[in-house]
Each structure stands twice: as structure tokens, then as C-alpha cells.
Amino acid sequence: MPRARPQGRAKPRTEQGGIDLGLLGDIKADLDAAQRLDPAAAGALEVALTYPGFHARQLHRLAHTLHAQGVPLLPRLVSHLSRALTGIEIHPGAQIGRRLFIDHGMGVVIGETAIIGDDCHLYQGVTLGGTSRRRVKRHPTLGHNVTVGAGASVIGAVIIGENARIGAGSVVVSNVPANATVVGVPGHIVAFQDPEEETTVRLPDPEWDRIHILEQRIRDLEQKLFGHSHPPLDDMDDAGHEGVRIEDGEDTLGNAARSQAEQRGRGESADRQ
């Protein structure tokens, strides 16, 4: 499975003026990524001034550089300042690739040994957490072009393959292959995407199958009680229905049961008379 390349300390690209074009290029790439991935972005200036994810990424560059050089305490102080300003906590030791976009950002936590590839996209509330108290690789590795939805947690030294998508609120505790879509608690694969053909192959979902079985049983019961049944939920969505509305006087399952009980009561009273 492809692994994300750790962020290396590449030799800076400079011109005669001594300006680090590598750093400036990376910052510009971050601005471009935010504008590409967020339809609400009105321009590079707005991103630079108002996007906490962009601010957290630039402060992490400083903290990570100091951490890599073995400077004591100061990297954590920079990280602490970043968390106070943005609500995003990134350990100075985390290795992050180019063009990371943290959307909204509040509550994002990225642990010390996490590795994030290029072109990744994290939403608010994402946790890349660890599972060990030992000083070992204990946080996730995200391949290139991985999207992690709001409130999702990826826990442990797991590997998330390139182009994978983690659904909002999911909890992932095992490796995810490239191009997979994962949802649920614990996370399970529901689809594979072909990045070349831009097609998605849906996988069987046992939980959704159970829901359909229950729907069929409800329709059968309605048919027996009322002589008709509501359409399946899928059909209602396709038809543009807003939902099932129960009109005044319409029998529901509970009303039907009470009605049958009343009829039995009246029949017993008539027999006694």
C-alpha cells in the first residue's frame, strides 16, 4: 500500500536575492489549495487574513523547523500559541505535506508522530490520535489526497491509502486501502473510487440491507391492515416527496390497533346483551 512520504528538509530554492522560493512557493500553494477546495473563498487575501487553517499551517512550519533542530520548549510554545489563536492543535513533530487544507478547523488535533501526505483535506473536529504511551510511531499516516470528514477520528499507527475518504463522524482504527470510502463506528469500507475513470463502486452494506428488510415488513403490515402501503423511502426520494405526512383522521398502526380493540369490545357487549 502506498505510504505518505515524510516531510523532508529539502534544500531551499533561492534566487540571487537569497529569498527562499521553496517556502514562498509552499505558502502560495496553501493559498491556492484553500481557494480551490472552498467555494466560499473570495480570494488569496481573504484566506491569508481570515482562515484559521491557513494560520495554523504556517505556525506549524515554524514549530516543526524548531523541533527538527532540537530547540527545547520554543516549538511547543509556538504550537500552544497556534492552538490559542486558531483552535487547531498540531504537535511540532507532526510531518505535513504540501497543500494541506484544514476547513473551518476548530477542534482539529494532529498528534506528534502523524504523517500527512500532499493535497489532504481535513474538516473541523478531526482527530489524528495515538494509542500508545511509548515514544514510538503511534499516530496515523495519511497518503496523498486523503479527505477526512468533520468529527472523524483516525486512531493509532494506521495507514490511510491515497485518495481515501473518511466520512464525517467515523472512527477508523485499522488500515484503509487506497481509493476507499470509509464510514461508521467502527469505520468500514462502503465504496471504492477509480480516480482515473472518476467512477465509484458501491460495496454491499449489511446495515442498509437490514433497513430495507424492515421497510418491506412495514409495507406488508400496512397492506394487511389498511389495504395499501406507503412507497419505499428510496422511491419517495426519487419522486421528490418531503416525507410521509399523516393527515387528520388517517389511521396509523396505533390507531388501527385501538380501533380493532374498540370493535372487539363492542362485539363482546353485544354478545352479552
CB under 8 Å to 5, separation ≥6 — which residues?
A: 97, 117
What is the mean pLDDT of the segment spanning 73-94? 97
34, 136: one domain? yes
188, 60: one domain? yes
What is the mean pLDDT of the segment spanning 42-65? 96
Residues forming a β-bridge with 159: 141
100, 58: one domain? yes
List the single range of 24-33, 34-43, 194-203, 257-266 with lowest mean pLDDT. Answer: 257-266
Q: What is the pLDDT of residues 103-121, one digit of tens each?
A: 999 999 999 999 999 999 9
List the single range of 10-24, 190-204, 256-270 with lowest mean pLDDT. Answer: 10-24
172, 152: one domain? yes
What is the mean pLDDT of the segment spanning 258-267? 61
Chain position carrying cell 405526512: 245
Residue 207 has pLDDT above 90, yes or no: no
The confidence band for 17, taking pLDDT boundaries of 50, 70 and 90, is very low
How many domains in the chain? 2
Is the residue at 161 inside a domain?
yes
| pLDDT value of residue 150 | 96
186, 256: one domain? no
Residue 18 has pLDDT above 80, yes or no: no
Residue 217 has pLDDT above 70, yes or no: yes
DSSP structural state of residue 131: -
- CATH number of the domain that 135 lies in? 2.160.10.10
Per the prediction, the chain carries an average pLDDT of: 82
Is the residue at 12 inside a domain?
no
Q: Write down the pTM of the prediction.
A: 0.68
193, 212: one domain? no
Higher pLDDT, 224 or 39: 39
| pLDDT value of residue 68 | 96
Residue 222 has pLDDT above 90, yes or no: no
**114 neighbors 157 (Cβ within 8 angstroms):** no
The confidence band for 261, taking pLDDT boundaries of 50, 70 and 90, is low
DSSP structural state of residue 226: H
Is the residue at 49 inside a domain?
yes
Spatial CA neighbour of 6 closest among 173, 168, 135, 137: 137
Question: 3-state DSSP call for residue 165?
Answer: strand
Neighbours of 205 (CB within 10 A): 16
| pLDDT value of residue 168 | 95
Where is the domain boundary, 152, 187, 202? 202
Rounded to the nearest 10 degrees, the angle between the axes of helix 253-272 and helix 206-226 is: 30
Q: Residue 209 burial by CB count (10 A; 0-12/13-18/19+): exposed, middle or buried?
A: exposed
List the single range of 34-43, 88-97, 134-143, 256-265 with lowest mean pLDDT. Answer: 256-265
Domain assignment of residue 225, given as a range: 206-272
